[in-house]
Amino acid sequence: MSLVERLAEETRRRQQAELMLAEQEAKLDAARRRQARTDARVADLGAENLRLTCALTAQRDRIGLVERQFMHAVEALRAGFALFDSDLKLVMRNQAYLSGFHNPDLIKPGISYKEVLQIVVDERRIDPDEGPQDEWRDRMFARLESDDPQEVIVKQSNGQYIKVIDRRGLGGEVVSLLMDVTADVQHANDLKDARMLAESASRAKSTFLANMSHEIRTPMNGVVGMAEVLSETDLTEEQRLYTDTIRNSGEALLTIINQVLDLSKIEADRMVLRHEPLDLKQIVREVIMLAQPTASAKGLAVTMDFDPLLATDYTGDAGRVRQVLTNLVGNAVKFTSRGHVSVRVTGEPDAKAGTVALSISVADTGIGIPDYMIDTVFAEFTQVENDRNRQFDGTGLGLAISRKLVDMMGGRISVTSQEDVGSTFGLDLTLPVAAGKSAPVVLRPDRLRHVLLVDSLEASRATLHGHLERVGVRVTSHDTASSAMDDLGPHIDLVLIDHSPPALDGLALLRRVQAAGHHMPVFVFTSEPNAAPNGRADVPKPVLLRQPVELACVFDKFSAALPVVDPPVPVPLPPANPPVAYARPIPDDQPRRRMRVLTAEDNATNQLVFRKMVKDLDIDLTFADNGVKAVQVYQASAPDLVFMDICMPRLDGKTATRIIRKIESGTGVHVPIVALTAHTGTDEADAILETGLDHYLSKPLRKALIIEHILSACPVDALDPRNGASASGRGVRAHKDQR
């Protein structure tokens, strides 16, 4: 090989070596760069590790602090605290938990819940009142089978009461708390004793009031009864004033007694509501008629707006509904000196439930109620404590009792009022419709198409106008008779005229009817019970209707006033309360005797009152002054009717009645027995009737009711007590049993 070739080869090799060196240096540089990155990452990881280590140390410190705080809090608890794991092994407990054991060293972590219970049993910590110890242990442990164990209060042998509360966690662990509730249990027992004492005192108060009511009613029967008898004799105007004052004062006293008794019974939770058929429309009508004499004396009108398409028959406590309405209407009349009082009844039927949501409002144009008194108007004795109302009589208990009664019936009573303008009391009450009853169907007579209505009171006129239009009658209304003159004509089928001023010029309207040769009936409606048609020869005699006017009555009178052309369309009438019914028709061809009446009454004054009340009846009246004599007289004289006082010496009226009913048993005889009682509550009335009595009368006795029972019980072979007395000139033949 030549030198040139060798140099060329050497150059080639050197170049290759240089290339390899360059490659290696490049690789070395890459490795160095990778090493630098690795070193940086290692440094970062070291820093992160240091940060995490510091954070972990800090977290451990915080956990330690929280654990110490938790343990401190647990130890600070007055209640015993223990934690059991999901296997019910003890994890931790505080000192209060250990204090419940005689040997706390046994309660160590790892001990089971059941072993803890066994230690409690072995140490005889449980009072024998808790039952057998082993059964108690098993009951306590069985609680833990539930996800939410029941809290229990355990009586210990030392007299302490411990509430045991166990709660399961999400992982199955159980937290157990033992709380000393001895003071709470003692407080509850003290409250129970206090409540029993209060209830006993309330019962004693109610019993005292009931007894006092009975004792007061007995002499009041003499006062009110003799005043009623005296008022029927010939008296001077001054004497009649005195007599009426005695009777009215007695009635007022009885009202106060009844209110105090009702309030006492409600507060003692002894008021019992009755579930009986009630005719709401009849109740409202009777309440209004009862208030009308007082209202008329003050120049007030009392109107009724009872939805003619609303059901009238319901189930409820008729007496209490009547009591509430009587109070509301009575108050409205009392606190109204001019204007009117209106009672409106509407309702929303619920066919599915068979009930009606009734809304009853009593509105007046009286003195109203100041805003600051609205919230206290239903409070007890509010009127008595209010100087503004001292000019009005009353105890201030009526509205308080009404609210409590309405609450008991599941209703609501409310009031809206504006001073010197008037008040409206609202009563919302849901009652079930009586079985087999539905809303009435009011059918107008076919020949009654157009009515001329004359009424000076806008509220009354609007009510009657609306009711007539609802059943398809066209109505032309006027506030005075003079303004109605131009509307008279053959197109008018009926004229309805208000009897009160300023419509008294209705006589001119009646003459106009006669002069024009019209033959439509003319009805005059009045609130005066003794009102009579005018006796003038030049004025046609109108038909009088007693307010509040009912459509059924108007339609019935209208049909009766016209000549019968076609058979009359029957018009459903509202049901009336059935009279007392004992008697049978009396044939005229049989010899008659006096009716025999036995009255068992131990009080001589009450005997005198009773005798004077029936003095105009031709009857044989016998008195017995105790229950034993009453039974003897019954067996000896076979009376047709017995009036039985309930409270008598030797033998009370209820026991005497049971004996009489036992004597009658199997004979087919049933002599009517009417209780005479000074007790007035519905529970007493039910107890009286359950013993075999047929009816009861509350003292003071009312002459009309006594006579009604006597006439209704008159047998077929006896003289009519009324006719016999007038025909023979004789009155009652009274004698006292001397046995």
Predicted local confidence at residue 394, as pLDDT = 57
Best-predicted range by mean pLDDT (83-87, 97-101, 468-472, 484-488): 83-87
In terms of domains, do 297 and 240 share one?
no
pLDDT digit string (tens) for 654-697? Answer: 999 999 999 999 898 999 999 998 765 556 677 788 888 999 88
Confidence class of residue 190 from pLDDT cuts 50, 70 and 90? very high
In terms of domains, do 327 and 410 share one?
yes
CATH assignment of the domain containing 426: 3.30.565.10
3-class secondary-structure state, position 604: helix
Q: Establish if 108 belongs to a structural domain.
A: yes
Predicted local confidence at residue 536, as pLDDT = 53
In terms of domains, do 281 and 425 share one?
yes
User: Could you tell me which residues come within 8 angstroms of residue 614 by beta carbon, excluding any fewer than 6 positions away?
Assistant: 597, 621, 706, 707, 710, 732
Over residues 280-306, mean pLDDT: 88
Please give the span between the terminal C-alpha atoms of the chain, in angstroms, as a whole number.
183
β-partners of residue 168 are: 174
Beta strands in 439-542 (DSSP E): 450-454, 474-478, 494-498, 522-526
Domain termination residue (choose one: 76, 99, 117) = 76
Q: Establish if 191 belongs to a structural domain.
A: yes
Q: Pairing relation of β-strands 494-498 and 522-526?
A: parallel
Predicted local confidence at residue 416, as pLDDT = 93
Predicted local confidence at residue 129, as pLDDT = 85
CATH assignment of the domain containing 644: 3.40.50.2300
| DSSP notation for 282-309 | HHHHHHHHHHHHHHHHTT-EEEEEE-TT
Split into its structural domains, the chain has a count of 6
Predicted local confidence at residue 171, as pLDDT = 85
| Poorest-pLDDT segment among 308-312, 327-331, 508-512 | 508-512
Q: Establish if 1 belongs to a structural domain.
A: no
Domain termination residue (choose one: 432, 459, 491) = 432
Q: Which residue has the higher pLDDT, 323 or 1?
A: 323
Predicted local confidence at residue 587, as pLDDT = 52
Predicted local confidence at residue 388, as pLDDT = 46
In terms of domains, do 659 and 715 share one?
yes
CATH assignment of the domain containing 215: 1.10.287.130
Please state, as a whole number, how many other Cβ atoms lie within 10 Å of the Cβ of residue 512: 14
- Contact between 518 and 494 under an 8 Å Cβ cutoff? The reply is no
Predicted local confidence at residue 540, as pLDDT = 55
Asked whether residue 572 carries a pLDDT value surpassing 60, the answer given is no
C-alpha count within 13 angstroms, C-beta hemisphere, residue 127: 12
In terms of domains, do 103 and 67 share one?
no
Predicted local confidence at residue 534, as pLDDT = 54
Predicted local confidence at residue 88, as pLDDT = 93
User: Could you tell me which residues come within 8 angstroms of residue 570 by beta carbon, excluding any fewer than 6 positions away?
Assistant: 443
In terms of domains, do 231 and 333 share one?
no
Over residues 113-123, mean pLDDT: 92
Q: Establish if 572 belongs to a structural domain.
A: no
Q: Which tokens sit at 416?
A: 């809206």
User: Of 158, 86, 89, which is closest to residue 123 (Cα–Cα)?
Assistant: 158
Predicted local confidence at residue 301, as pLDDT = 86
Q: Establish if 2 belongs to a structural domain.
A: no
In terms of domains, do 423 and 291 share one?
yes
Domain that holds residue 370: 276-432
Please report where in the chains the tokens 């019936």 appear, as a residue.
409
Q: Which tokens sit at 380?
A: 């007890």
Q: What is the b/e burial string over 306-339, where b = at least 16 CB atoms within 10 angstroms of the residue's CB?
A: bbbebbbbbbbbbbbbbbbbbbbbbbbbbbbeeb
Domain termination residue (choose one: 157, 185, 213) = 185
In terms of domains, do 282 and 402 share one?
yes
3-class secondary-structure state, position 652: coil
| Poorest-pLDDT segment among 14-28, 83-97, 437-451, 597-611 | 437-451
In terms of domains, do 178 and 191 share one?
no
Asked whether residue 103 carries a pLDDT value surpassing 60, the answer given is yes
pLDDT digit string (tens) for 121-167? Answer: 998 888 888 889 899 999 999 988 888 898 999 999 888 999 999 99
In terms of domains, do 132 and 247 share one?
no
Q: Establish if 566 belongs to a structural domain.
A: no
Asked whether residue 189 carries a pLDDT value surpassing 50, the answer given is yes
pLDDT digit string (tens) for 207-237? Answer: 777 777 767 777 887 888 888 888 888 888 8
Predicted local confidence at residue 659, as pLDDT = 95
Predicted local confidence at residue 460, as pLDDT = 84
- The C-alpha angle with vertex 4 and arms to 3 and 7, in degrees rounded to 5, equals 85
Confidence class of residue 505 from pLDDT cuts 50, 70 and 90? low
Asked whether residue 537 carries a pLDDT value surpassing 60, the answer given is no
Q: Establish if 375 belongs to a structural domain.
A: yes
| Poorest-pLDDT segment among 47-56, 495-504, 531-540 | 531-540
Predicted local confidence at residue 185, as pLDDT = 92
Helix 398-408, helix 237-267: angle, nearest 10: 40
Helix 703-712, helix 604-613: angle, nearest 10: 70
In terms of domains, do 165 and 193 share one?
no
Q: Is the pTM of this model over 0.75?
A: no
In terms of domains, do 45 and 120 share one?
no
Q: Establish if 688 belongs to a structural domain.
A: yes
Predicted local confidence at residue 175, as pLDDT = 92
